[in-house]
Amino acid sequence: MTYHPSWRGVTFHDVVPAGVLSARAFLEQCLERIAAREHIVQAFVAIDERGARAAADAASKRRAEGRALSPIDGMPVAIKDLIETANMPTQMGCRAYDGNWPKRDSAMVQALREAGAIILAKAVTTELGMSEPGPTTNPWNTARTPGGSSSGSAAAVAAGFVPVAIGTQVAGSIIRPAAYCGNWALKPTQGGVHRGERQGTSQSTAGPHANSAQDAWLVAREISRRVGGDPGTPGLLGPLSTPDPVRPVRLGVLRTECWPRIDGASQMAFIQYVKSLPAEVVFPEDDPALAALETAVADAMAIGTKITAFENRWAFRNLARDKLSRRMIARLDASAAWVQEDYIAAMELRAAMRAAQAALAPRYDALLALACPGPAPFWNPNAPNADDNPRPTGDPSCNAATSALGCPAVTVPVMAVAGMPVGVQVIGQPHQDAKAMGIARWMHGAAPHLVA
Amino acid sequence: MTYHPSWRGVTFHDVVPAGVLSARAFLEQCLERIAAREHIVQAFVAIDERGARAAADAASKRRAEGRALSPIDGMPVAIKDLIETANMPTQMGCRAYDGNWPKRDSAMVQALREAGAIILAKAVTTELGMSEPGPTTNPWNTARTPGGSSSGSAAAVAAGFVPVAIGTQVAGSIIRPAAYCGNWALKPTQGGVHRGERQGTSQSTAGPHANSAQDAWLVAREISRRVGGDPGTPGLLGPLSTPDPVRPVRLGVLRTECWPRIDGASQMAFIQYVKSLPAEVVFPEDDPALAALETAVADAMAIGTKITAFENRWAFRNLARDKLSRRMIARLDASAAWVQEDYIAAMELRAAMRAAQAALAPRYDALLALACPGPAPFWNPNAPNADDNPRPTGDPSCNAATSALGCPAVTVPVMAVAGMPVGVQVIGQPHQDAKAMGIARWMHGAAPHLVA
């Protein structure tokens, strides 16, 4: 299918709460789309149809009686298979976790259930959220990757299997697959959506993929309202309803370290698109402070990778090596000699990046960058681990900066290049997720979407 | 046995590294003491004698060949049973975890093994580290509690079963049981010793109990050197060797919120002891800034309890209620209605406490407080859950302040009251663990120990 940015996909907020469909009828339509295309998309590792139907009936009854638990009562949601769910196994795309089923709900899953959401499916992740891909294909072109590590979450939303799927991001795993698949997505401020049992790394986040800003925001906010964010953080802040569109005065542009590797058509489309926005748009060459941030984040990918590899090392060492991919073993071995001083040095570089962003707060309402480096690349889904390509789900490096910065980023589906989605991300200051979402909504409606 | 502060207990640093005993001979002496008294002390839930002997032989060989992995190569260590160990189950003093054996090493355990330490035993914890006690008795008087939640860790060190045992603290569970048992202990700066899979709460720490400052420091530092601290923190900083004694210029005294509940003999002993120190010792009534900290931490127990209860809620809700104690269910139910705003409000109060301590940095080298509210109370070890006493392991509230402050604290065994140990804690600024330890060592030698 050729993608066009006018595509709207499957949304919940304007359907079930509005009484257009009951929660059960909405679920059945999702299940029909799954039955028709899941054998091609391969977004899920587990589906709990029976539990979902029971939960949908309960939600339908509550809504009919005017007792909805929240705006997302009755919403079917898929959960990335890194995150624990009581009603389905959690196997993390890794043979070391085959059959793992701890029968626990992660914090966000518990909050979703309390809000009435339906935990329908577990979505394919790359191995432990790292490089080794699963079988999922891009719904817009099955010869291309949907991105990763939130491969199944991105594809499930794009295929209309669920209106919202939870993904996680360490380098670029929410923002990038959403951009490759034509979704909205919110990567919240570090810790904004409670990561539950997954607190082991200092720059990873959980956040929603959706077909609308509203569904993404409502899910994230209903979670933080109930369980807060990560321990020691305030959690996602902002209104309970979706922030209204906000017109910015000034926007800054970041090219990020991946720019030289992006195809010319996507580069030109991005520049043309941001120049078409009805606001002041500043490029790094025109503002030394913005250029200083661009310079500070120029090694964000390598620094974030080093920090995360050190943090993950002890947990990964507990796994049997013969159940890990070659790519994973290479990652593990690369960090074997690192000590506390190496980690502290990398964290100091990260702190410098954050200071460079903070310095821009008085001058810019938000920053803009490509959310993915052009259209999703082609890959061979039948040969995982067949080669040592370190990035079989695409290059995450245009997202490495926002991951290291710990700031909010919103993927907005506003461009098509070569018939595939290419998203633009709106980047806010930490804890200003609501403002970033408001500017993202403004952007989506402020200028014509671009087809290159 | 009547306790006297001149008691020195079992130490490792001046025995095995000095060649007085081989690692294997040292272990055998530990095992003999365990065989003689464990049936009374009941410090352990699991002992891996076979694995320990093999590890001790390997360490003996390395040391004989001059290839010691670290200063703690060959040291037998006990691990509080909240923390995962590959060679023994992790049952958390909770029936919901009966038989739980994930065969994983927590970060600190992995680091200890890499340093050559011997993971000998799992030490009794109260239920999930909360109030419901286990069977452990105080080695100095078996009719008294050893304190909690690190009951087994404290008792095992006092009984000479191991030179070092790892404990954890949320309110007062490292510092207080150590003080009740006559141990040294280090509660590091928040996150200083990597908590591994236990990242779910924002004011809990892991740290060593020991019979000497040296063994405590070396264990904590060898861990942080290898795996750092909690993700996103620098981890315990300071020299690899134990900090030398440091004479302070000025010390401040904190009475803390528990003061009105402390027996008069212990109050008088503490005041007499701190006045005997050869340094300027300031009381809150003589310095408004110090009084401001005393006021800021006056509700530390309630605030810390609220923060932790909110953070623990989702994880505890996953456990079957019929496998929890009445005390635990009461805790869980108390937090049922709390939402994000309640949590944020409590965290703001905690931030104010931290600001009040930071304001003292230019004026005080350290603060001093009682580490426990007098001698360990009597209790009935044969009737757990027989009453609803909320503090069956003693009152943690003189430790609530340092837990909320996230700062280092060192228990120093310098007093006896009524034939039982009563420790004094040295409290440092965050990340100045080494300075706090240096002042603790100075204090231990600077004035006569006090027997009241």
Report pLDDT digits (tens) over B184-209: 999 999 999 999 999 999 999 999 99
| Contact between chains at B225 and A340 (C-beta distance less than 8 A) | yes
A123: left (phi over 0), alpha (psi -120 to 50) or beta: beta
- Closest C-alpha among A268, A282, A281 to residue A450: A268
In this structure, what is the dihedral angle of CA atoms B239, B243, B244, B246, given to the nearest 10 degrees?
A: 120
- CB atoms < 10 A from the CB of B345, how many? 11
Contacts of B413 (CB under 8 A, 6+ apart): B5, B7, B178, B179, B182, B183, B184, B421, B423, B444
- CB atoms < 10 A from the CB of B261, how many? 11
Once rounded to an integer, what is the mean pLDDT over residues B220-243? 98
Predicted confidence band of residue B43 (pLDDT cuts 50, 70, 90):
very high
**Mean pLDDT (chain B, rounded):** 96
Distance CA B112, CA B206 (A): 13
**B310 → closest Cβ in A104, A224, A228:** A228
Six token digits for residue A215: 């569904």
Overall pTM > 0.80? yes
> Catalytic residue numbers of A?
80, 149, 173
| Contact between chains at A314 and B227 (C-beta distance less than 8 A) | yes
**A354–B contact, CB cutoff 8 A:** no
Contacts of B67 (CB under 8 A, 6+ apart): none
Predicted confidence band of residue B383 (pLDDT cuts 50, 70, 90):
low
Residues in chain B closer than 8 A to A111 (CB atoms): 314
pLDDT at A388 over 90: no
- Closest C-alpha among B151, B89, B153, B85 to residue B119: B85
| Contact between chains at B202 and A232 (C-beta distance less than 8 A) | yes
CB B193 within 8 A of CB B220: yes
- pLDDT score of B1: 82
- The percent of residues in chain B predicted with pLDDT above 90, rounded, is 94
- CB atoms < 10 A from the CB of B46, how many? 18
What CA–CA distances, in Å, run from B67 to A86, A339, A343, B22, B292? 48, 20, 26, 14, 52
Distance CA A8, CA B152 (A): 60
Residues in chain A closer than 8 A to B311 (CB atoms): 228, 231
- Closest C-alpha among B164, B182, B126, B191 to residue B327: B126
Once rounded to an integer, what is the mean pLDDT over residues A251-259? 97
pLDDT at B385 over 60: no
- CB atoms < 10 A from the CB of A128, how many? 22
CB A198 within 8 A of CB A155: no
Choice among A79-88, A203-212, B88-97, B331-340 with the minimum mean pLDDT? B331-340
The CATH H-level (homologous superfamily) assignment of domain B23-227 is: Amidase signature (AS) domain (3.90.1300.10)
pLDDT at A394 over 80: yes
pLDDT at B154 over 90: yes
pLDDT at A379 over 80: no
pLDDT at A386 over 70: no
Instruction: Using CA coordinates, name the residue in chain B closest to A102.
Output: B318
**A226 → closest Cβ in B105, B339, B347:** B339
- Find tokens 């926002």 and name the residue: A402
Which amino acid is present at A331? R
Residues A262-314 have pLDDT tens digits of: 999 999 999 999 999 999 999 999 999 999 999 999 999 999 999 999 999 99
| Contact between chains at A225 and B340 (C-beta distance less than 8 A) | yes
| Contact between chains at B232 and A104 (C-beta distance less than 8 A) | no
| Contact between chains at B226 and A340 (C-beta distance less than 8 A) | yes
Rg of chain B on CA atoms, in Å: 20
**Mean pLDDT (chain A, rounded):** 96
Q: Measured between CA atoms, how close is A45 to chain B, in angstroms?
A: 23
Predicted confidence band of residue A387 (pLDDT cuts 50, 70, 90):
low
Instruction: Using CA coordinates, name the residue in chain B closest to A223.
Output: B340
| Contact between chains at A317 and B110 (C-beta distance less than 8 A) | yes
Q: Which of B22, B70, B80, B212 is catalytic?
A: B80
Distance CA B283, CA B287 (A): 7
Six token digits for residue A126: 């790359």
Distance CA A108, CA B193 (A): 27
Question: Which residues of B, range 196-225, sit inside 8 Å of A by Cβ?
Answer: 196-197, 199-203, 224-225
Write a three-state SS string for chain A: CCCCCCCCCCCCCCCCCCCCCCHHHHHHHHHHHHHHHHHHHCCEEEECHHHHHHHHHHHHHHHHCCCCCCCCCCCEEEEECCCCECCECCCCCCHHHCCCCCCCCCHHHHHHHHCCCEEEEEECCCHHHCCCCCCCCECCECCECCCCCCHHHHHHHHCCCCCEEEEEECCCCCHHHHHHHCCEEEECCCCCCCCCCCCCCCCCEEEEEECCHHHHHHHHHHHHHHHCCCCCCCCCCCCCCCCCCCCCCEEEECCCCCHHHCCHHHHHHHHHHHHCCCCEEECHHHCHHHHHHHHHCCCHHHHHHHHHHHHHHHHHHCCCHHHCCHHHHHHHHHCCCCCHHHHHHHHHHHHHHHHHHHCCCCCCCEEEEECCCCCCCECCCCCCCCCCCCCCCCCCCCCHHHHHHCCCEEEECCEEECCEECCEEEECCCCCHHHHHHHHHHHHHHCCCEEC
pLDDT at B256 over 90: yes
Domain(s) of CATH 3.90.1300.10: residues in chain B: 23-227, 250-451
- pLDDT score of B380: 65
pLDDT at B384 over 60: no
Instruction: Using CA coordinates, name the residue in chain A closest to B227.
Output: A340
- pLDDT score of A391: 76
Q: Measured between CA atoms, how close is A41 to chain B, in angstroms?
A: 33
- pLDDT score of B392: 85
- Closest C-alpha among A133, A163, A173 to residue A23: A163
**A105 → closest Cβ in B202, B318, B339:** B318
- The percent of residues in chain B predicted with pLDDT above 70, rounded, is 98
The CATH class, in words, for B250-451 is alpha beta
Distance CA B245, CA B214 (A): 11
Contacts of B58 (CB under 8 A, 6+ apart): none
- pLDDT score of B387: 60
Distance CA A396, CA A133 (A): 14
**B228–A contact, CB cutoff 8 A:** yes
Q: Which of B149, B204, B335, B397 is catalytic?
A: B149
Helix, strand, or coil (residue B19)? coil
pLDDT at A383 over 60: no
Q: Measured between CA atoms, how close is B235 to chain A, in angstroms?
A: 8
**B227–A contact, CB cutoff 8 A:** yes
- pLDDT score of A380: 65
Once rounded to an integer, what is the mean pLDDT over residues B119-139? 95
pLDDT at B17 over 70: yes
pLDDT at A338 over 70: yes
By the 10 Å C-beta count (0-12 exposed, 13-18 middle, 19+ buried), A338 is classed as: middle
**A326–B contact, CB cutoff 8 A:** no
CB A210 within 8 A of CB A237: no
